Amino acid sequence: KQEVTQIPAALSVPEGENLVLNCSFTDSAIYNLQWFRQDPGKGLTSLLLIQSSQREQTSGRLNASLDKSSGRSTLYIAASQPGDSATYLCAVRRVNDYKLSFGAGTTVTVRA
C-alpha cells in the first residue's frame, strides 16, 4: 500500500517569502506524482505533474522536484503572495495502478 506523507501540516509565512512543501511516499515504483491546490470547500486544481522519468517541473513561480529513489518530492513557491493561501496536496500514482494516493495536505497561510 502506498503511504503519502506531507510535512508540515500547516505553514504560515509573511508575503514575499519562498515556500517549501514536502511530500514523501513509501513505494518508489511510481508512475507519476501530481501537486494540487485546494481552496476551502472547493475542488482541486492541478498545479504540476511530474512523470517518474523526470526530475523536476516548473510553471511560473512553482517548481516541483522528484527524487524517486528516496521517495520524496518538494514543491517550491517563489515570492509567496496572499493569494497562494490554500491547502496543497501531493498525490502519487503507482505503476500499473491508476488510483492516486493522496497525502493529507499542507495548509499554507501567506500573511500580507
Partner 1 sequence: EAGVTQSPTHLIKTRGQQATLRCSPISGHTSVYWYQQALGLGLQFLLWYDEGEERNRGNFPPRFSGRQFPNYSSELNVNALELEDSALYLCASSLGFQGLAGVGELFFGEGSRLTVL
Q: Quote the least distance from Cβ 46 to partner 1, whole Å.
A: 6
Q: In the range 66-95, which residues lie near partner 1 by CB under 8 A?
A: 89, 91, 93
Tell me: does residue 111 bind partner 1 (CB under 8 A).
no
Tell me: does residue 35 bind partner 1 (CB under 8 A).
no
Q: Quote the least distance from Cβ 110 to partner 1, whole Å.
A: 23
d(Cα 79, Cα 103) in Å, to the nearest integer?
24
Query: Given CA atoms 36, 72, 64, 86 in this order, what sign does their dihedral have?
Result: positive
- Range in contact with partner 1 (rule: CB under 8 A) among 19-27, 30-38, 53-61, 75-83: 30-38
Contact 94, 29 (CB under 8 A): yes
Q: List interacting residues with partner 1 (CB under 8 A).
A: 31-32, 34, 36, 41-46, 49, 51, 89, 91, 93, 97-105
